[in-house]
């Protein structure tokens, strides 16, 4: 387990908080593993809804790329962990509300794909700028395409521009906008508690059926991870990643 993900149960809601605020909750493999396990742990502990949020000024800035310094395969491990975490949020029986306050960038934005309902403050920055780093965002594509449609999905993944949440709400990537980050946390909590109060069998059956409809044309998630992992990663590339990451902070 990791100290960087904290889970508490409040009013039937398992509040899963990314808790590494000094680096804007940059994701490690352990954190992704904790997110992956969160839905089944929450269900076991009697929660009826999962609320995924971040501590500090932003939801999540993406992968902790400093890990590349010592590990050739760090990006591959992170991408695999991310793919599994998104799938676990989506496939579990509990509804998932996500509060993308402040910023949800790269791997942080990808996590939105696993949520049923996304809340953000109007000025939150949301985007998938990983092509800039030579990483393919393919792992997000199956979820993003379902959420926003084909046109917006292509634009968002291929163009590395980061938009605010107002634009994300317009395309359906964010479902509820608030004027500020504090209000986003409150709204996400309110929605999660409302979902937790609804009949659990009906919610589970409805989510299961929506998941099945999503995959009526086939499950492309494994293929999407493969596409993201297929890029070569050499020492030179790793240095570039680390340099860019440091420059961006």
- Which residues here bind other proteins, judged by CB under 8 A? 95, 116-117, 146-149, 172-173, 175, 191, 194-195, 198-203, 205-207, 209-210, 213-214, 216
Least distance to other proteins, CB of residue 212, Å: 8
Q: Pick the closer one to other proteins by CB: 213 or 243.
A: 213
Least distance to other proteins, CB of residue 206, Å: 5
Residues pairing with 6 in the sheet:
17
Least distance to other proteins, CB of residue 8, Å: 22
Q: Pick the closer one to other proteins by CB: 134 or 200.
A: 200
Q: Pick the closer one to other proteins by CB: 61 or 177.
A: 177
- What are the C-alpha distances in Å from 249 to residues 56, 64, 88, 246? 15, 11, 30, 5
Q: Pick the closer one to other proteins by CB: 105 or 203.
A: 203
Least distance to other proteins, CB of residue 88, Å: 17
Q: What is the DSSP string of 52-106?
A: EEESTT-SB--B-GGGGGT-TTHHHHHHHHHHHHHHHHHHSSS-EEEE--SEEET
Segments in the chain forming alpha helices (H): 29-44, 74-91, 107-111, 141-148, 150-158, 165-171, 181-196, 200-214, 221-229, 235-248
Least distance to other proteins, CB of residue 208, Å: 8
Q: Pick the closer one to other proteins by CB: 67 or 117.
A: 117
């Amino acid at each position: 387990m990791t100290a960087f993900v904290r889970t508490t149960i409040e009013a039937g809601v398992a509040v899963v908080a990314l808790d590494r605020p000094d680096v804007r909750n940059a994701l490690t493999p352990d954190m992704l593993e904790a997110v992956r396990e969160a839905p089944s742990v929450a269900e076991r502990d009697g929660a009826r809804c999962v609320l995924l949020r971040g501590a500090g000024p932003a939801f999540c800035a993406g992968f902790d790329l400093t890990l590349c310094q010592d590990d050739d395969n760090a990006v591959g491990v992170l991408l695999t962990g991310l793919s599994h975490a998104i799938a676990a949020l989506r496939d579990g029986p509990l509804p998932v509300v996500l509060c993308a306050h402040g910023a949800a960038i790269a791997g942080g934005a990808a996590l939105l794909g696993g949520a049923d309902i996304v809340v953000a403050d109007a000025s939150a920055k949301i985007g998938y700028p990983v092509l800039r780093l030579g990483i393919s965002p393919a792992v997000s594509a199956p979820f993003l395409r379902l959420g926003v449609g084909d046109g917006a999905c292509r634009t968002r993944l291929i163009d590395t521009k980061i938009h605010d949440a107002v634009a994300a709400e317009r395309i359906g990537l964010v479902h509820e906008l608030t004027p500020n980050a504090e209000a986003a946390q409150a709204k996400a909590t309110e929605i999660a508690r409302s979902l937790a109060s609804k009949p659990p069998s009906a919610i589970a059956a409805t989510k299961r059926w929506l998941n099945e409809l999503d995959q009526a044309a086939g499950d492309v998630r494994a293929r999407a991870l493969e596409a993201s992992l297929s890029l070569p990663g050499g020492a030179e590339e790793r240095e570039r990643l680390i340099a860019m990451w440091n420059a961006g902070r």
